[in-house]
DNA sequence: CTTGTAGTTTAGAATGATTATAAACTGCTT
DNA sequence: AAGCAGTTTATAATCATTCTAAACTACAAG
């Protein structure tokens, strides 16, 4: 268990008890180099089989509330979560149901329109839908 | 019935029979000046009570397939539809669950990042989340 | 105008993701 | 070691959406 101590301390500092289940889920979600985008269903597939589905839901929501994860806007029926909690944007490959990060600095969004009266902007999410470069021409 | 003939002809030209139910739904959705953003539940509230829920779903999906409507990406559990089928973006007021259009030309998105290898960009959706301008200061 | 048929509507059942419930269990303080 | 709040779990409940299959209807053809 590599970052065991880190996870344990972070959980404690969020007021969450570092249980066996939570540490196992931390390992899956956060002990990796790249951003991880996942649905609960995918997490269930890779998690140890003795962690209940209810715990996966509970834990992911607790982690989201503590700011370890964020939720992504998609019209998919399943909710996606993202281990990258920085401001950033996404490519979405609908065929593969896969998200790919776009760093905030790799996309320039000048002159945002003004928020409606009495409202202020909380955040901006850009989703760029991509598909296979279908070079299926007539022939 | 104002645009009766228009709706009737448009339905026919899409291969859809202009039924009583479809014409009533067209009237609700399209006989208005402003874009209409709605969920099936909201449509049910304002539709004549003798149109079944199944027909609302069937009709909205048929209209989407025919290009009269588009679906909006949100992490809400309910699906939103939009009578504005042009390329455009949205403010989203999470408190009111309301979408507000942003015209494509009112937002400038320079230098899009390149699509992942073998993929091409289908479309870009920008969602700007807004909230009440809470001037609830300490006092 | 009839009739035939494909398209449409409908009530109700089924599905599937998510949330709620409440009992058993466990981390942690005393 | 004891006790309690926090956590896990199986299971039921919820709720949006989709499916089913029977009744209905628009409309083309005669
Ligand atoms: Mn959620
Ligand atoms: Mn849909
Ligand atoms: Zn991401
Ligand atoms: Zn819109």
Per-residue pLDDT tens digits for B54-86: 999 999 999 999 999 999 989 888 999 999 999
Q: Which has more confidence, B97 or A137?
A: B97
Same domain, B62 and B122: no
In a shared domain, residues A61 and A97: no
The 10s digit of each residue's pLDDT in A35-60 is 999 999 999 999 999 999 999 999 99
- Position B34 scores a pLDDT of 93
What percent of chain B shows pLDDT beyond 70?
Answer: 95
Token pair in block for residue A5: 């101590």
CB contact under 8 A, A118 and B133: yes
Q: Which bases on strand C have an atom closer than 7 Å to a protein beta carbon?
A: 7-12, 16-21, 26-28
Query: Do A7 and A69 reside in the same domain of the chain?
Result: yes
Alpha helices in chain B (DSSP H): 4-13, 20-30, 40-46, 53-65
Verify that B20 and B65 share a domain, yes or no: yes
From A73, A95, A112, give the residue that closes a domain.
A73
Interchain contact, A129 vs B120, CB within 8 Å:
no
Which member of B72, B111, B124 has the closest CB to residue A108? B111
Task: Please indicate, yes or no, whether residues B69 and B106 belong to a single structural domain of this protein.
Answer: no
Same domain, B19 and B58: yes
The answer to whether position B135 is within a domain reads no
Using DSSP's 3-state secondary structure scheme, residue B29 falls into helix
Structure confidence at residue A12 (pLDDT): 96
- Name the domain count of chain A: 2
CATH code for the domain in which residue A67 is found: 1.10.10.10
pLDDT for B136 equals 53
Give a yes or no: residue B136 inside a domain: no
Per this entry, what is the length of chain B? 139
Secondary structure (3-state) at B90: strand
- Residue A24: in which H helix or E strand, if any? helix A20-30
Domain assignment present for A19? yes
Q: Which residues of B touch A118 (CB under 8 A)?
A: 132-133
Q: What is the pLDDT of residue A2?
A: 54
Mean pLDDT taken over chain A: 91
Q: Are residues A63 and A104 in the same domain?
A: no
- Looking at the structure, tell me whether residues A11 and A31 fall in a common domain: yes
A102 touches strand D (CB under 7 A): no
Both A7 and A62 in a single domain? yes
Residue in chain A lying closest to B70 (CA): A75
Which ligand has the shortest distance to the CA of B36? Answer: 4
Tell me whether residue B139 is in a domain.
Answer: no
Report the residue of chain B nearest A98, measured CA to CA: B116
In the predicted structure, residue A137 carries a pLDDT above the cut 50 = no
The predicted pLDDT at position A112 comes to: 85
Residue A6 domain flag: yes
Spatial distance between the Cα atoms of A21 and A1, rounded to a whole number of angstroms: 13
User: Within this chain, do residues B15 and B59 fall inside the same structural domain, yes or no?
Assistant: yes
Q: Are residues A25 and A59 in contact, defined by beta-carbon separation less than 8 angstroms?
A: yes
The reported pLDDT for the residue numbered A107 is 86
- Which of A73, A94, A117 finishes a domain? A73
Q: Is residue A78 part of a domain?
A: no
Nucleotide with the nearest C1' to B25 CA = C9
Q: Pairing relation of β-strands A88-93 and A80-82?
A: unpaired
DSSP state of A121: E
Q: What pLDDT sits at residue B3?
A: 75
Q: Report yes or no on A135 lying in a domain.
A: no
The token duo for B86 is 């042009």
Give A97→chain B minimum CA distance, Å: 13
d(CA A57, CA A41): 10
Q: Which of B110, B92, B109 is nearest to A122 (CA)?
A: B92
The residue among B73, B96, B117 that closes a domain is B73
Say how many CA atoms lie within 13 Å of A137 toward its Cβ: 1
B64 and B9 part of one domain: yes
- As a rounded value in angstroms, the CA-to-C1' distance for B54 and C14 is 14
Residue A54 host element (H or E): helix A53-65
| Residues B68 and B17 reside in one and the same domain | yes
Instruction: State yes or no: pLDDT of A123 exceeds 80.
Output: yes
Contact A72, A80 (CB under 8 A): yes
Is pTM, for the whole model, over 0.75?
yes
| Domain that residue A124 falls in | 84-130
Nucleotide nearest to B39 (CA to C1'): D16
How far, in Å, is the CA of A82 from the C1' of nucleotide C24? 32
Residue B15 has a pLDDT of: 96
Residue identified by tokens 């899009």 is B112
Nucleotide nearest residue A52, measured CA to C1': D9
pLDDT at A135: 60
Residue B88 belongs to a domain: yes
- Would you call A112 an interface residue with chain B, using a CB distance cutoff of 8 Å? yes
Query: What's the pLDDT at B95?
Result: 86
CA distance B115 to B61: 29
């Amino acid at each position: 268990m590599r970052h065991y101590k880190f996870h344990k301390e972070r959980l404690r500092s969020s007021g969450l008890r570092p249980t066996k289940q939570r540490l196992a889920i931390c390992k899956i979600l956060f002990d990796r180099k790249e951003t991880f985008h996942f649905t609960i269903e995918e997490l269930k597939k890779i998690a140890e089989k003795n962690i209940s589905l209810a715990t996966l839901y509970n834990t992911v929501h607790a982690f989201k509330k503590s700011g370890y994860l964020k939720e992504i806007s998609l019209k998919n029926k399943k909710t996606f979560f993202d281990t990258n909690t920085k401001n950033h944007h996404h490519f979405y490959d609908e065929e593969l149901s896969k998200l790919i990060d776009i760093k905030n600095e790799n996309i320039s969004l000048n002159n945002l329109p003004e928020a409606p009266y009495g409202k202020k902007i909380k955040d901006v999410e850009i989703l760029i839908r991509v598909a296979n470069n279908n070079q299926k021409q007539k022939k």
